[in-house]
Structure 1
Amino acid sequence: MNPLQHLAPELEAGLAALGLPTQPLAGQLLDYLALLDRWNKTYNLTAIRDPREMLHKHLLDSLSMWRAVRPGRLADLGTGPGLPGIPLALAVPGLEVTLVESNGKKCRFMREVVRKLGLANARVLESRAEAVDEPGAYDQLTARAMDTLAGILEVGGHLLAPGGRLLAMKGLRPDAEIAALPPGWAVESVQPLSVPGLEGERHLVTITRDPAQAA
């Protein structure tokens, strides 16, 4: 039995609030959370220690963007212990996720998650984002807590296919970062996100190549 089973009702309520099916997703997410909680005691994968806090600040926060994610290939840059990539791989049918992380212990943890959960649509790539030699291979990039928008594009923009999108999760609306976008990129949308059980602002910024500057 999952030691975090007592959190199931709260997780299911959060998933329903986000418009996601509760089963089998809640059970899979709880299995991931139990692994994260266990490994975190030894390897310090996240500063958040309380599993209930992880449920809201990691799982539901990651899934708050699910409606913007389309089937296809997605690279999650600086994913840490797999956020938002692993929850999205579980929740979005037809999504193929590459979890990009340079920290070895976090990569070992994610490989264990992929193995234990049978995540056939996720792979772990131990690398810095700028060193990933797969130009134009991805329809979408995500980055949850990695850098400024310009910084993310600098290290990962080469990975996007023509017509691809960066889905960047931010707290407050990042108007200064948007104003500092490098040439060749344009904001497609800035959407407020609502995370069940969390207060404070969250936004999803979607960026594409600027068609006005396309070659």
Structure 2
Amino acid sequence: MQDQSPDLAANEPDPWDGDPRLPEFFADAWVAVRTFRDYLVEEGELRGLIGPREIPRLWERHLLNSAAVVPYLPQTGVVVDVGSGAGLPGIVVAAMLPDAEVVLVEPMERRVAWLNDVVARCALPNVEVRRARAQELDGAIEADAVTARAVAALDKLYRWTAPLVRDGGTVVAMKGARAEGELAAAAKAMRAVGLVDGRVHEAVTIPGTEPTRVVTAVRRVRGVR
């Protein structure tokens, strides 16, 4: 996404720390999300998951940004986060959707180890971590929704993720300022994999934060034109 937040130095405090709107916004997910954030501060840079300049802007640029996808996801069912990396948005999604089964898909062993540590530390019983690439799971997963953040261009992402989504399910991607153009460029790929109704949404979490561009597309029910 396009970053319009201040270019903070690594040793500066996060301006969102202590903001009372955060626990109000995250509600029942607050303890898990705050624990995740604290763990990122403690270990994220050491494990090569985030750069030092990201630490003072974890709340707005990463955690609130991840929370922006939640309104476009089902409250229950299977949600698969591909290329989960540090756990964004997957860990935030799991904390905010406790009745959903969230599968974090990540091919790198060290990141899988991190994700398993986060799941244990944040006490998230609704999460499964799988070491794999999305394209390796065709036929092994049937998701109600798939999420992705900074994984690939939409045309490539749709080829990887559409086979994981059940008929009527949704691919939900977080994108930057060029989301509209990227969606238009992916039209042929969408048709090829049975995705329809592509839309770009500007999602706001807490008023005053930069909107997150969320791109949704629905897996067509086979046999229905």
TM > 0.5: yes
1:106 is aligned to 111
Q: Under a length normalisation based on structure 2, what TM-score does the superposition of the two structures give?
A: 0.80
Kept in 1: contact 2:162–2:195 (CA 8 A) = no
Match of 2:204 among 170, 186, 194: 194
- CA distance in 1 between partners of 2:51 and 2:205 (Å): 19
Pairwise CA distance, 1:133: 4.4
1:208 aligns to 2:218 (yes or no) = yes
**Counterparts of residues 63-74 of structure 1 (less than 5 Å):** 63-70=67-74, 71-74=76-79
1:13 aligns to 2:21 (yes or no) = yes
SS in 2 for 1:164: strand
1:35 is aligned to 39
Structure 1 residue runs of 5 or longer lacking an equivalent are none
**Counterparts of residues 1-215 of structure 1 (less than 5 Å):** 9-10=18-19, 12-14=20-22, 16=24, 20-22=25-27, 24-47=28-51, 49-70=53-74, 71-135=76-140, 137-179=142-184, 180-181=186-187, 182=189, 183=191, 184-196=194-206, 198-199=209-210, 202-210=212-220, 214=224
- CA distance in 1 between partners of 2:123 and 2:197 (Å): 36
- CA distance in 2 between partners of 1:15 and 1:60 (Å): 12
Cα deviations across residues 69-120 of structure 1 (Å, max 9, x unaligned)? 1121011011111110100100123111100111211111110011122211
- CA distance in 1 between partners of 2:135 and 2:44 (Å): 27
Cα deviations across residues 173-209 of structure 1 (Å, max 9, x unaligned)? 523322223223212432111254643x531111013
Pairwise CA distance, 1:127: 1.0
Structure 2 residue runs of 5 or longer lacking an equivalent are 1-12
- CA distance in 1 between partners of 2:52 and 2:172 (Å): 24
SS in 2 for 1:9: coil
Sequence identity of aligned pairs in percent? Answer: 27
Cα deviations across residues 108-143 of structure 1 (Å, max 9, x unaligned)? 111001112221101111111111244451000001
- CA distance in 2 between partners of 1:164 and 1:79 (Å): 19
RMSD: 2.5
Kept in 2: contact 1:75–1:140 (CA 8 A) = yes
SS in 1 for 2:46: helix
- CA distance in 2 between partners of 1:94 and 1:118 (Å): 14
- CA distance in 2 between partners of 1:194 and 1:79 (Å): 22
SS in 2 for 1:98: strand
Kept in 2: contact 1:138–1:164 (CA 8 A) = yes
- CA distance in 1 between partners of 2:32 and 2:94 (Å): 11
- CA distance in 1 between partners of 2:69 and 2:104 (Å): 17
- CA distance in 2 between partners of 1:103 and 1:85 (Å): 16
In the alignment, residue 110 of structure 1 is paired with which amino acid? L
